[in-house]
A and B are shown apart, each in its own frame.
Chain A
Amino acid sequence: MHKYKIIFFLTLLTCIVNAQGLYKINGIVVDSVSKEALVSATVIIEGKKIGTITNQSGWFAIEINAYDNLLISLVGYNTKRVKGIDIIKSEMPYVVVLSESPVLSKEVVAETENRREKNLRLLGYEQLTANQIKYTPSFGGESDIMKTIQMIPGVTSANENSTKLNIRGGESNQNLILIDGVQAYNPMHLYDFVSSFNTDAISNVELFKGSISSEYYGKLSSVLKINLKEGNKYKLRWGGGISILSSQLYIEGPINQNISYMFSLRRTYLDLILRLSNSDAGYSFNDLYGKVTYQISKKSKLFLSGYWGLDYATDFGNELNYNKWGNHVIHLRYNYIWNNNIFSDFSFSYSKFFTNFNWDIYHKSPYVIDYSFKNLNDIIISNKNSIKTGGDIHFYDFKITSEMFSRTNDISHFINSYEGNFFINWKHNFSEKFIFEMGAVYSYFSENKTKEKSSIFEPRLNLCYYLSDNFSIKVAYTQMHQFIHSIAPYNYYLPNDIFYPTSEKLPYMKGNQFTIGSSKVFNVLNSEYDVSMDLYYNDMKNVPNIKNHFDNTDPYLLPDQLTIGKGWGYGLEFQLAKKEGKVNGWISYCWNRAKRLFDGINNNEPYDPKFHKTHQLNFVLNYNISEKFKLGAIYIISSGQPLTLPSHKYYIDDKPYVYYGNINSFRLPYYSRLDLNIVYCFNMWNGSWELFGSIFNLLMRKNPSFLYFDISEARFEKISLGLIPTIGVKFHY
């Protein structure tokens, strides 16, 4: 009964209608070939400075006059013009079909309105399509989302080969990584060298690093959304690829008119290579993505998606020794279009990250399980007002185990906790020039063991002012919190992260970010360019860090072994991008500072974190030379990595030890790297094939991949990756 009351109330809210003969319409934007819904497409009324963006199900709602035309566009697709009268006469939701723009076609300069729409997006928002990621060169020829995202200004990592992201001075565990809307806790393979995201299964990727809508919460630094493909609804497609690291296979297609599916499997064969080379060590990783979409009716849709990833390291000589870890994600989602104004999404999800470590006498098997139920509602009141609201409930199950076998009295520590969130986001167009967006999140967290309860109210604000149709200034304030801590002892490249909830001794993290930015869309020589500049400041409180005497032999005492501190950062980011056309890519520059301050560390003085690079200049180029040849290139030049130098050496019990000077007070020489990727496309055996050759570090600069102090040799040793050529093949049927 309550449900109907709410719907009635929301419908009433939307009845501020039709004063000027406006018709409310809603629709779904889909791909012309696969018929999959397109996320984040822009929908604008031609000639008027009014528009919207499609939601996670490709849905939009807008008020139009009968004589209006709608312009619908998305990066990589041809802009489509639809007559308002045609939409009004049609059954709702109206389906808009966008066709992919051929990359070699003459570039069409977007309409003025389109340029304005590009400015409509949130501050610090970036979107990458699967194609952009696919052709960007990366290590081992394995196209990697995380490595491509590291090319975006404000994004760095502590190590050249790591797929972890440090965004605007935040820690890598402060990013909310969502696979189809469900949080993945540690989606990395091969000790962080390869991310878990298989590009064959992905539709697109969205990154929110500045202004974060109140729809997203739970992590301090940023939001990374990985949207999976729904599966081709028109015909069966399958394909795969072979590279030096792994092989992939995917299949997608319709079961009937209403049901489509997509499955993608990837497996590395490092274990087979290691076995052939008589190595004692074995390692492999696998991942499987799947999604089934059921179009129940024109207004309702059901999705079942999942991800299963596993890394397995073993000692061939001894099967009792193994270490496996992975993520499991299952997501059931139902969405329903109530009317021209309201769209609802209900979902249930299960997400688990686990480690099972058995090596000689050591054993540990910690995990975190997150069961959640979520509701999301888009309410389009008018072209001037829209509301997004909803909430979720999470039930967490943590197992924290000791690393040592030696203490057997209740070696595992089980904690249950739950979290509830409610959010509301209101967007209001004050005038054609001024857009105001305000939101708030209320979160409640309870930890069952110590009965510790926390609640927080966090505001969000986003203002946009158009100086002209293609030039805007935006200001944003975002407050974020994080109840689930991830503690990584000593940055080992093992997934030994310990997930621990907020408790009496471990308060939740809290962060603020202020951003001011401007963006302009302009065209030169029939090509369209986006230029943007962001200035940001952020701070973080209650950031945990492990003490020097950290000891993981007693999971109960974990909070006692952490020191709680703070961090802050500020910076300036600049980007010039050409997102479409025969030649596309971007140039970005970022100047930033990041600091950490912890009690008892670095003589209680602030220091630079390991990932901090003051200057970073990135070039990303995708050049479609012809129908057959494609060239991808990236070039990075940045400040060197900070390093802690030992200041003294001494002997205790006849063993050498070092005493360190100030943390990260020394900087390595600058970092620079050029990678190339050439793709040759051809047809064979009734399928389309791509043969690619990739060169990592073409300039052969000896950048330090790993650096360590050899205490007995009394010198620093660095391990560098030289020039690494790889070849591979991909095929599609």
Chain B
Amino acid sequence: MINKKNKILLLFYCLLFLLIVISCNETLEIDIPDFSEKLVVESFLVNTSNRIFLKLSKTVSPYKKLSWYDTTLLVHNAQVKVKLDNNEYNMIEDTISSVYYNGYIYKIFRKTGEYYINNVNLLNVNKCELNIDYKNNHVNCIEYFPDIVQIDSIQTTLYQKKLSNWSNPINYLKIKIFANFPKNQKSFYRICLVSNYGSLDYEFENIETDYFIHLSNENYEIIDLKLKYENLEYYLKRTRVYLDHITENHYNFMKAKKNQEEDVDNPFGSEGIQIPTNITNGLGIFTCIARDTICINIK
């Protein structure tokens, strides 16, 4: 039987518990600093491609709640020019005429904020210059194509690793790439495992996994790539490895981006990881990639 004294004690502890709970989490009110929007560029020029693609958007106040499909972020009707060595091109803004949603195709006409040029030859281009004019904003960037690093040979080993006692083993592919990596200098790469899926009519390129690496003095690189699907038959289709020689700006951008993804929203996070940019007066990335490709057989 609970006597009166114990009841009071129980009530006291309940009250304390309640106080702890209600005082646990709250939103902090902060004076919002002055905000002026900036243009955001996202463009990766691959030497083996004959198309240049650029996505242009703008920043918003970080304290404004909006979703990724919010079209107000897109920048339309900007004047986007790309100069490849001495040849200058005006980029055209892409449009969409229909959208597929919930089993239905809706006819719409909308500008996408995505700019492109088709039928350009990037193989022998050295210097790329970007100039964008939008309202009173002018942003620009100059980048250079790195040299192609050719893959000499590749060794693959398939293995499985069990991550817990109850789960199925996961497939990993260990690849060893021998290439003419430049010695005694910093160089940056993206190693990427690519497979194709879809029907014969419409085949998609699927990037299985990619890693950004920073090499200084080796002539080979070993990397473990996680295969997404348990059924290895999936990989019997055309599977290949890209060895992308990238710029330092590109590497720094991708790494800082990944670090920010892990850091933001994290109560134990840092003072804030700034994503670097090579866009003058803007944000984002405009970069050149020199690609070499090799097909592999997964056994």
Q: Are B40 and A660 in contact (CB under 8 A)?
A: no
Q: Name the CB-closest residue of B to A320.
A: B164
Sampled A-B contacts (19; CB under 8 Å) = A361-B161, A408-B223, A491-B270, A550-B259, A560-B186, A610-B271, A657-B257, A664-B271, A668-B28, A702-B23, A706-B267, A711-B62, A714-B63, A714-B64, A714-B65, A716-B27, A719-B25, A720-B23, A721-B24
* Residue among A557, A651, A653 making CB contact with B214, cutoff 8 Å: A557
Distance to closest chain A CB from B31 (angstroms): 8
Q: Which chain A positions have C-beta within 8 A of B174? A: 408
Q: Cβ of A718 and Cβ of B20 under 8 Å apart?
A: no
Task: List chain A residues, Cβ under 8 A from B66.
Answer: 714
Q: How far is the CA of A712 from the CA of B221 in the complex (A)?
A: 38
Are B68 and A654 touching (Cβ within 8 A)?
Answer: yes
A405 touches B16 (CB 8 A): no
CA distance A563 to B299 in the complex (A): 44
Q: Which one of A557, A647, A668 has the greatest number of beta carbons of chain B within 10 Å?
A: A647
The verdict on B227 contacting chain A, using a C-beta distance below 8 Å, is: no
Known: A491-B270, A646-B62, A651-B68. A716 touches B213 (CB 8 A): no
Interface residues on B, range: 35 or more
Within the complex, what minimum Cβ distance (angstroms) separates A283 from chain B?
A: 15
With contact pairs A409-B221, A650-B60, A708-B265 given, residues A551 and B16 touching in the complex (Cβ less than 8 Å):
no
Residues of A within 8 A of B270 (CB): 490-491
A702 touches B222 (CB 8 A): no
Across the interface, name the chain A residue whose C-beta is closest to B176. Answer: A409
Contact partners of A723 in chain B: CB under 8 A = 16, 19-20, 23
At the interface, yes or no: B151 with Cβ under 8 Å from chain A?
no
Contact residues of A between 534 and 551, Cβ < 8 Å to B: 547-551
A503→B222 CA distance, assembly (Å): 26
Can you list, as one digit per residue, whether each of B16-46 has a CB less than 8 Å from chain A (1) or not (0)? 1001111111111010010101101010000
Are B269 and A490 in contact, with the CB atoms below 8 A? yes
Among B148-195, those with CB < 8 Å from A are 161-166, 170, 174, 186
Q: Would you call A648 and B268 a contact (CB within 8 A)?
A: no
Contact residues of B: prevailing secondary structure: mixed
Q: Which listed residue, B63, B225, B260, touches A406 by the CB 8 Å rule?
A: B225
Listed from nearest, the 8 A-B pairs whose CB atoms lie closest are A722-B23, A706-B267, A549-B255, A648-B59, A646-B62, A644-B272, A318-B164, A549-B252
B274 partner residues in chain A, CB cutoff 8 A: 548, 601, 659-660
For chain B, residues 265 to 295, give those with C-beta under 8 angstroms from any C-beta of chain A: 265-276, 283-285
Is B28 a contact partner of A656 (Cβ separation < 8 A)?
Answer: no
Task: Contact check, B24 vs A720: say whether CB atoms are below 8 A apart.
Answer: yes
List B77-135 residues whose CB lies under 8 Å from chain A.
Answer: none
Q: Is the CB of A648 within 8 A of B60?
A: yes
- Contact assessment for A652 and B42 in the assembled complex, using a CB-CB cutoff below 8 Å: yes
Closest to A696 in B: B20
Inter-subunit contact B63/A715 (CB<8 Å): yes
Does B19 contact A722, Cβ atoms closer than 8 Å? yes
Partner of B273, one of A548, A649, A719, A725: A548
Q: Which residues in chain A, 634-675, are within 8 Å of chain B measured between CB atoms?
A: 644-661, 663-664, 666, 668
A711, chain B: closest CB distance, angstroms:
5
Say whether B64 contacts A649, CB under 8 Å. yes
A380-411 interface bits toward B, Cβ cutoff 8 Å, 1 = contact, 0 = none: 00000000000000000000000001111100
Question: Counting CB contacts under 8 A, is B143 at the interface?
Answer: no
Given contacts A649-B64, A723-B19, contact A716 B28 (CB under 8 A): yes
- A659 near B283: Cβ-Cβ < 8 Å: yes
Other-chain contact of A560, B40, B214, B226, B271 (Cβ < 8 Å): B214
Closest residue of chain A to B31, judged by CB?
Answer: A666
B230 at the interface (CB under 8 A from A): no
Tell me the nearest residue of chain A to B69, going by C-beta.
A654
Given the complex of chains A and B, what is the CA–CA distance between A412 and B159 in angstroms?
21
Q: 1/0 contact trace for A713-733 toward B, CB 8 Å? A: 111111111111100000000
B147 on the interface (CB 8 Å rule)? no
B68 to chain A, nearest CB (A): 4
B214 and A648 contact, CB distance less than 8 A = no
Residue A553 lies at the interface, judged by CB distance under 8 Å to chain B? yes
Residues B25 and A717 in contact, CB atoms below 8 Å apart: yes
B19:A548 contact, CB within 8 angstroms: no
Chain B residue contacts of A550, Cβ below 8 A:
255, 259
Question: In the complex, what distance in Å separates the CA atom of A286 from the CA atom of B218?
Answer: 43
B40 touches A549 (CB 8 A): no
List which A140-193 residues lie within 8 A (CB) of chain B.
Answer: none
**Which residue of A321, A494, A708 contacts B267 across the interface (Cβ within 8 Å)?**
A708
Please, how many angstroms separate the alpha-carbon atoms of A659 and B275 in the complex? 7
Q: Which chain B residues border A648 with CB–CB below 8 Å?
A: 35, 37-38, 59-62, 283
Chain B residues in 8 Å Cβ range of A551: 212, 214, 255
User: Which A residues are in CB contact (< 8 Å) with B162?
Assistant: 320
Report if B296 contacts A (CB, 8 A): no
Please give, as numbers and ranges, the residues of chain B lying within 8 Å of A715 by CB-CB distance. 27-28, 63
Is B73's CB within 8 Å of the partner chain A? yes
In the bound complex, what is the Cα–Cα distance between A729 and B261 (angstroms)? 45
B211 interface residue per 8 A CB criterion: yes
